[in-house]
Amino acid sequence: MNTFGRIFRLTTFGESHGPALGGIIDGMPAGLEVDFDMVQQELDRRRPGQSAIVTARNEADRVEFMSGIFEGRTTGCPIGFIIRNSDQHSNDYEEMRHKFRPSHADFTYNAKFGHRDHRGGGRASARETASRVVGGAIARQALQRYGITIRAYTSRVGDISVDTPYSALDLDRVYSNDVRCPDESAAVRMKELIKRVKAEGDTIGGVVTCVIKGVGPGLGSPLFGKLQSLLAGAMLSIPGAKGFDYGLGFEDCGRRGSEMIDSFAIMADGSVGTLSNHSGGIQGGISNGEDIYFRVAFKPVATLLKEVTTVTDSGEDATLTARGRHDPCVLPRAVPVVEAMAAMTVFDAMLCDRSSRL
C-alpha cells in the first residue's frame, strides 16, 4: 500500500539507488496557484547535506512536475512528479547484498518478498520521504487558503528536552538553527550532543512536536476516520517513528478526569471555546477548534559507524561496518516530514468533510 489518503491521495514510488523516486498526487482540487519555490524550499529542508549534523549525501532533490498543473494552476487531474537520484555510491552497499544490517529492514524485506534492492535500504530508505514532502507542500498551500498553519519542531534529542510549552515558543524560529528547535538554548545543547554522538560513530533519538492552528470545529470523522487515528497512522508510517500521542498523551494516564476536562465557555467573539486544551484540539475524533498538537517519537538511527555482528542470508554469522553516509540523528530532517504528513492528513480530512452535510 503505497497510497496515503482517501480523497487527496499520494502514491509514491522509488528506491534510494534507482534512477528516480516520485509520486502521483490524485484528488487535488483544481484552482490552486502553485508556489513552486515553496515546494522546493520544503524539499531543501528535508534534503541531506545541509549541515554538519546530518548525512553528507548530497542530493539536489529537484522536483520535476509532469502533469496536473497547467499555466501555473492545478487542473484537478493527477499531479505526477519525479526527483532524480544523483549522488549514489551504490558500491558502498555491495556488502549488504547478503548481510542483514541489524534493526534495518533488510531481513524483513527479504522475508516478505524474497528479492530486494539491497542498495541503501532500497524502498525502505528514508530518502522516500522526499516524495511525501512534495505531496505535503501542495496540501499545505491549499490549507493556507483556509488559514491553517502547521508547525513542527525538535522538542527532544536524547535527554535534552524543551520544557517550555509550544504556546510560549516562537515557532517562526524553527528553521533558524540546524536542529530545528525554536528554543535556542536547548538547540545549542542538542547540537553539541549530536556532534558528540556522531564523533563516537553512534546515533541518538528524540521527539518532534507538531502544532496545527486554524482548524475550525468539525474536522475528522467518527470511528476509523478519527483525526487522531489518521494522524497516528500517518506519523507511524515515517521511517524511525516509534510513538505518537496527542494532547497530554501518555501524561494523561496519571491524571484524574477532573484535572483533565476542558470546560467550554463563550469566547469574546461569541464562539464556543474551551478554557484549557488538554484534549489537544480533538474530541470524539473531531476537531473542536482549539490548537491540535501531538508528539512523534523517533528512535536513534540503526546505522552505526562501528562494527556490528549479524548474519547473512545463507544463515552464517558475519560482521558488518557501515560505509554509507548516514545521519547521526534524524530529528532535524524529520521535522519537515512530520509537517508534510500532517498537512496531507488535515487537507484530506477537510475534503472528506465536504460530504458531512447534505
Residue type, 138: I
In order of 5, 15, 147, 323, the CA distances from 307 in angstroms are 40, 26, 50, 10
Helix (H) or strand (E) holding 198, with range, is: helix 184-199
Is the Cβ–Cβ distance between 227 and 290 less than 8 Å? no
Phi, psi of 11 (to 5 degrees): -115, 130
90 binds a copy of itself (CB under 8 A): no
186 binds a copy of itself (CB under 8 A): no
Is the Cβ–Cβ distance between 358 and 231 less than 8 Å? no
23 binds a copy of itself (CB under 8 A): yes
Helix (H) or strand (E) holding 108, with range, is: helix 106-113
Choice from 38, 50, 98, 158 touching a copy of itself (CB under 8 A)? 158
- Binding characters for a copy of itself, 34-63, by CB under 8 A (x = yes): ------------------------------
State how far the Cα of 344 lies from the Cα of 194, in Å rounded to an integer.
30
Location of C-alpha cell 484528488: 27
353 binds a copy of itself (CB under 8 A): yes
Choice from 60, 80, 90, 173 touching a copy of itself (CB under 8 A)? 80
Q: DSSP code of 205?
A: -
Choice from 34, 130, 174, 286 touching a copy of itself (CB under 8 A)? 286
Choice from 93, 100, 153, 293 touching a copy of itself (CB under 8 A)? 100
Strand partners, 296: 208, 244
Evaluated on CA atoms 133, 41, 178, 60, the torsion sign reads positive
Choice from 89, 176, 316, 321 touching a copy of itself (CB under 8 A)? 316
Site for a copy of itself in 126-145 (CB under 8 A): 128, 142, 145
214 binds a copy of itself (CB under 8 A): no
Q: How far is the CB of 12 from a copy of itself (least distance, A)?
A: 7
Of 26-34, 36-44, 46-54, 55-63: span binding a copy of itself (CB under 8 A):
26-34
256 binds a copy of itself (CB under 8 A): yes
274 binds a copy of itself (CB under 8 A): yes
324 binds a copy of itself (CB under 8 A): no
Q: How many CB atoms lie within 10 A of CB 67?
A: 13
Q: How far is the CB of 172 from a copy of itself (least distance, A)?
A: 25
Is the Cβ–Cβ distance between 215 and 346 less than 8 Å? yes
Instruction: Rank residues 109 and 151 by Cβ distance to a copy of itself and give the closer one.
Output: 109
**Cβ-based neighbours of 112, under 8 Å, separated by 6 or more:** none
29 binds a copy of itself (CB under 8 A): yes
Question: C-alpha angle with apex 232: 227 to 237, nearest 5 degrees?
Answer: 130
Site for a copy of itself in 3-22 (CB under 8 A): 3-4, 6-9, 11-15, 18-22
Choice from 182, 300, 324, 332 touching a copy of itself (CB under 8 A)? 300
Size of the site for a copy of itself (CB under 8 A): 158
Q: How far is the CB of 308 from a copy of itself (least distance, A)?
A: 6
State how far the Cα of 62 lies from the Cα of 77, in Å rounded to an integer.
22
Instruction: Rank residues 168 and 265 by Cβ distance to a copy of itself and give the closer one.
Output: 265
State how far the Cα of 344 lies from the Cα of 138, in Å rounded to an integer.
8
